[in-house]
Structure 1
Amino acid sequence: MRKKFTKRVKARLPWLEHISDSPAIGEILPISHENLKLRAGKNICLICRGSKLLCKKPVCPILMKARIFSKKINLLESEYLEGSSPPAVFVGRIGYPYVRAGPLIPQKLGDTSLYDRPEAWFGMSVESILEFRLGLVRGTFPVDVRNPFKAGRLMENTLEIALSEISVDSETKFRKKPTKIFLIDDEIQPMGPLAPLKDMKIYSARSDPRMERAFEDDDLKAQEAIVELYKNGVEVSKIQRAFSIGAFGLKKQRRLVPTRWSITAIDDMLGVWLREKYVKENPFIDDYRVYLLEAYGNKWAIIMIPGPWRYESIEAWYPGTTWNPNGASIAFVGDYEEHWGRKGYASMGGCYYAARLAVLEKLNEEGKQATVLVLREIHKDSLLPLGVWLVRESVRAALKRRPMRSQDLREVLSVVSSFLGIPMKHWEEISVTLRDISRRQSLEPYLS
């Protein structure tokens, strides 16, 4: 009997939750006392050391991170930094509600907006994206999320940076030199230089008028401010940034929100608004559709089925990928919601909400409603987890393509099966959506 090559994984995978696209990810990681520490897992990395490519990836991701950081590490020999924030800020979560927050500043003056604009990254090389993230020095100061302005001028400047629509020139003094400690690990995103802030002067900040109006209106609830900004064309990443720094909401309720939480919170809030306000009121699509995309070592198949709004997202991590490094079989994780939505937090984390927002945007744009299934395969040539922004932008990119349309679901699934590496029967074993449709279609002859 042939051994089955797939396996079911428990829904709750803590190592898959909250994949963040912020350098703040670094603050939750253990720090080495060495200047540079390459940590190889208990696997072939220890044998390979990047020379044999035993993982079958085209480039060793560990050495790639080391190479990029080495370009910058020699520039950080001072307690003084002059650079232009993209603008970018972060709020930590360790010790909540007493956390560390601050601006992200590269060693470059001028227009650095690309360093923190994930909407513009899709299509760039992984190495280029890593350079953006590693090029941002994190200046931090302690703050109580409930009373942030007790932190004084540092907090005021950080807020001004968060609301700016252009890169903000700055002169920064640290209490000590930015750390050269850099943990390089294939299981996590790299973390850039870190230093406690002593003083900061900023120049050339120019508030986005839309952001400024939302900030100044302290009688406007946070969710209403977020929706209004989105309707007025403000990019999701910019809303997430301002939300994390406590720029929205009723005066007495404003709080800082850790960066990793703010990313998923905004994806969720905007998705719920689109779903309830528009999509669930729209007519059904009148055919089966599938959108296909291959990028960054990922394969995507977004299937739309005529019917009421339902949503399911499933990921399949191949052996040797970041979150299935030592597995002998493909690991699946997924979650779904019925027409009325869901109450609990999705077990697969922020990726669920990022993909859902992109799908709802597409349906709202077309004035349609559908049952949607998002299938994602992560292959070995997916070098690193780059953050949930990649999920949002990948699904957006896929949905801009011309779909394959049919009146026959079997024809659509055949196309999907020939595109993905995993046979369709294994997806059908796992997918709640496909099982329900199959059961419904098998009963139709008896109900007519």
Structure 2
Amino acid sequence: MTELFNSKLCAICKGRKLLCGRPTCPILERFRVAQSVEKKLNKRHLFGSSPPSIFVGEHGYPKVRIGPLVPPIEGNTSHLDSPLKWENKTIKDILYYRSLLVMGETRADVSVRKSGRVLGEIQELAMSIRPVDSEVILKRKPVVKVVPSEFAPPLGPRAELLDFELTENPKIPRRTDYVVGDELKAEQAIMRLYNWGFDEYYIIRLLSAGLLGIDRKLVPTRWSITAVQDTIGKNLRREILGYPEINSYEVYFHEFLGNRYAVLLMPQSYAFELLEVWLKGSLFGSAEPQVIHDYEDFRGIKGYAKETTGAYYAARLSVLEHLRKRRRQARIIVFREVTPAYYAPVGVWQIRVGVKKALENPVGRFEILNEALEAVRKLLEHPLERYLQRSYILGHLAKQKTLDQWLGKVLT
């Protein structure tokens, strides 16, 4: 097995022998997708219906790349940028969707007070809840490639932006106008929109475009995703701490886009842990896969999730939504296994969806912990003992002598 791109092995393989052990060649797959849309994008002047979609980069902060994402297609294009609705899509579908969205990129200061007409148009686009007919003029024909991301949905073709204009009025909800026009702190604005039922990625778009908070600034898309998921998660955690605990051990499971998600809920006070393994042959896997993790108790995580990064906030939010709906609290462990079938990162939205779908698929309820752990063992490929040795929650329980003799032996 090898890392994602090993020049020597790739030269020998040429995508035909799959020497890396993956079910499909990630290089050839991206090439095929790009090739399938190249003719549609071979021009500098584009007219189409933005889903709507924008992107804000982080490189060079506080001078960042920003731009609208516009496909050469008119009509209802909302499916091109609806991550939480892609639960029945394949990685190839997602790469194709993103390859159609051309980004006209320009540099801007993060301070929206220094914005000009183009940024104003981009902000109006961000507030829309329906596709908006848009016109983009580029300095040159876009470079046709798709760049996968472990945080945001993949970014497609791009070129320097000369001009951008909305050719129809965007559909902006009154409640959005109210939140954007009021002097609310970003957390207050995010929670109002969330509790009103707005799509999570719509809120992320507003934050990225510098439309939320008192001190308005552009926020890189990657940062916005984590900020919104973390903000909502913190508020839901405070709420469920007042609910009674569940009364049995519960195990759930779902496999999505080459990721396995097993969720263990325990009848104790709230704590959350994500245990993650990139298996041998997966994108970032190694010959000896290691378990990485992050953890929090009722006080929340200290600082940023250093090992599992954005996956932590995405997985936590899905479980907290589940518990809030049930009006219960629990001690939680999410096991994530990344298999070779996940050949191109598509963003943390797939973790949100994968964990959410897992919680809709119960494996069983158990009276004692070792029975629940045996159920988890059967769902995973990586040895359960490796997870348990790394787990803070189960290690802490063992120290409190609340586990049975079997688990005590595993951890010794």
TM-score by length of 2: 0.92
Q: Label 1:388 to 1:171 Cα distance change in 2 as closer, same or farther (>3 A).
A: same
Q: Are the aligned partners of 1:176 and 1:196 in contact in 2 as well (CA < 8 Å)?
A: yes
- RMSD over equivalenced CA pairs, Å: 2.2
Cα distance in 1 between the residues matched to 2:140 and 2:387: 53
Q: Are the aligned partners of 1:142 and 1:151 in contact in 2 as well (CA < 8 Å)?
A: no
Q: Label 1:121 to 1:374 Cα distance change in 2 as closer, same or farther (>3 A).
A: same
Cα distance in 2 between the residues matched to 1:384 and 1:58: 12
| DSSP-derived class of the 2:400 partner | helix
Are positions 1:263 and 2:228 aligned together?
A: no
Q: Which amino acid aligns with 1:415?
A: A
- Specify every segment of 5 or more residues in structure 2 that has no aligned partner in the other structure, as ranges: 406-412
Cα distance in 2 between the residues matched to 1:187 and 1:393: 14
Q: Which amino acid aligns with 2:208?
A: S
Cα distance in 1 between the residues matched to 2:5 and 2:396: 43
Q: Label 1:306 to 1:139 Cα distance change in 2 as closer, same or farther (>3 A).
A: same
**Superposed, which structure 2 residues align to 1:314-353 within 5 Å?**
314-324=275-285, 327-347=286-306, 348-353=308-313
**Superposed, which structure 2 residues align to 1:382-401 within 5 Å?**
382-401=342-361
Q: Which amino acid aligns with 2:188?
A: E
Q: Label 1:187 to 1:70 Cα distance change in 2 as closer, same or farther (>3 A).
A: farther
Post-superposition Cα deviations, 1:264-295, rounded to whole Å, max 9, x if no partner, equal: 0101000001111x111111111000111122
* Identical counterparts, % of pairs: 38
Post-superposition Cα deviations, 1:191-229, rounded to whole Å, max 9, x if no partner, equal: 422122222221141112222221111x21111010010
| DSSP-derived class of the 1:83 partner | strand
Are positions 1:194 and 2:158 aligned together?
A: yes
- In structure 2, the residue matched to 1:405 is 365
Aligned length: 400
**Superposed, which structure 2 residues align to 1:358-377 within 5 Å?**
358-377=318-337
Q: Are the aligned partners of 1:62 and 1:186 in contact in 2 as well (CA < 8 Å)?
A: no
**Match for 1:125 among 90, 115, 138?**
90
Cα distance in 2 between the residues matched to 1:42 and 1:425: 35
The higher relative CO (CA closer than 8 Å, separation ≥ 6) is in 1
- Specify every segment of 5 or more residues in structure 1 that has no aligned partner in the other structure, as ranges: 1-14, 16-38
- In structure 1, the residue matched to 2:206 is 242
- In structure 1, the residue matched to 2:409 is none
| DSSP-derived class of the 1:55 partner | coil
**Superposed, which structure 2 residues align to 1:140-219 within 5 Å?**
140-146=105-111, 148-180=112-144, 182=145, 191-202=155-166, 203-217=168-182, 219=183
Q: Are the aligned partners of 1:66 and 1:184 in contact in 2 as well (CA < 8 Å)?
A: no
- How far did 1:401 drift? 2.0
Are positions 1:228 and 2:228 aligned together?
A: no
Cα distance in 1 between the residues matched to 2:154 and 2:220: 18
Cα distance in 1 between the residues matched to 2:316 and 2:401: 26
Cα distance in 2 between the residues matched to 1:244 and 1:443: 45
| DSSP-derived class of the 1:330 partner | coil
| DSSP-derived class of the 1:302 partner | strand
- In structure 1, the residue matched to 2:387 is 427
- How far did 1:341 drift? 0.9
Q: Are the aligned partners of 1:279 and 1:363 in contact in 2 as well (CA < 8 Å)?
A: yes
- How far did 1:190 drift? 5.8
- In structure 2, the residue matched to 1:280 is 241
Q: Label 1:331 to 1:42 Cα distance change in 2 as closer, same or farther (>3 A).
A: farther
Q: Are the aligned partners of 1:316 and 1:331 in contact in 2 as well (CA < 8 Å)?
A: yes
Cα distance in 2 between the residues matched to 1:185 and 1:385: 5
Q: Are the aligned partners of 2:51 and 2:76 in contact in 1 as well (CA < 8 Å)?
A: yes
Q: Are the aligned partners of 1:85 and 1:168 in contact in 2 as well (CA < 8 Å)?
A: yes
Q: Are the aligned partners of 2:95 and 2:146 in contact in 1 as well (CA < 8 Å)?
A: no
Cα distance in 1 between the residues matched to 2:14 and 2:225: 35
Q: Are the aligned partners of 2:150 and 2:348 in contact in 1 as well (CA < 8 Å)?
A: no
Cα distance in 2 between the residues matched to 1:293 and 1:350: 20
Cα distance in 2 between the residues matched to 1:386 and 1:184: 9
Q: Are the aligned partners of 2:54 and 2:122 in contact in 1 as well (CA < 8 Å)?
A: yes
- How far did 1:175 drift? 2.5
Q: Are the aligned partners of 1:354 and 1:389 in contact in 2 as well (CA < 8 Å)?
A: yes
Q: Are the aligned partners of 2:63 and 2:110 in contact in 1 as well (CA < 8 Å)?
A: yes
| DSSP-derived class of the 1:441 partner | coil
Cα distance in 2 between the residues matched to 1:43 and 1:184: 22
Q: Are the aligned partners of 2:52 and 2:130 in contact in 1 as well (CA < 8 Å)?
A: yes
Q: Are the aligned partners of 1:179 and 1:195 in contact in 2 as well (CA < 8 Å)?
A: yes
TM-score by length of 1: 0.85
Are positions 1:72 and 2:37 aligned together?
A: yes
**Match for 1:81 among 46, 50, 63?**
46
- In structure 2, the residue matched to 1:31 is none
- How far did 1:301 drift? 0.7
- In structure 2, the residue matched to 1:298 is 259
- How far did 1:345 drift? 0.4
Q: Which amino acid aligns with 1:258?
A: P
| Most deviating of 260-269 and 40-49 | 40-49
Q: Label 1:106 to 1:122 Cα distance change in 2 as closer, same or farther (>3 A).
A: same
Q: Label 1:343 to 1:443 Cα distance change in 2 as closer, same or farther (>3 A).
A: closer
Q: Which amino acid aligns with 2:108?
A: V
| Most deviating of 164-173 and 421-430 | 421-430
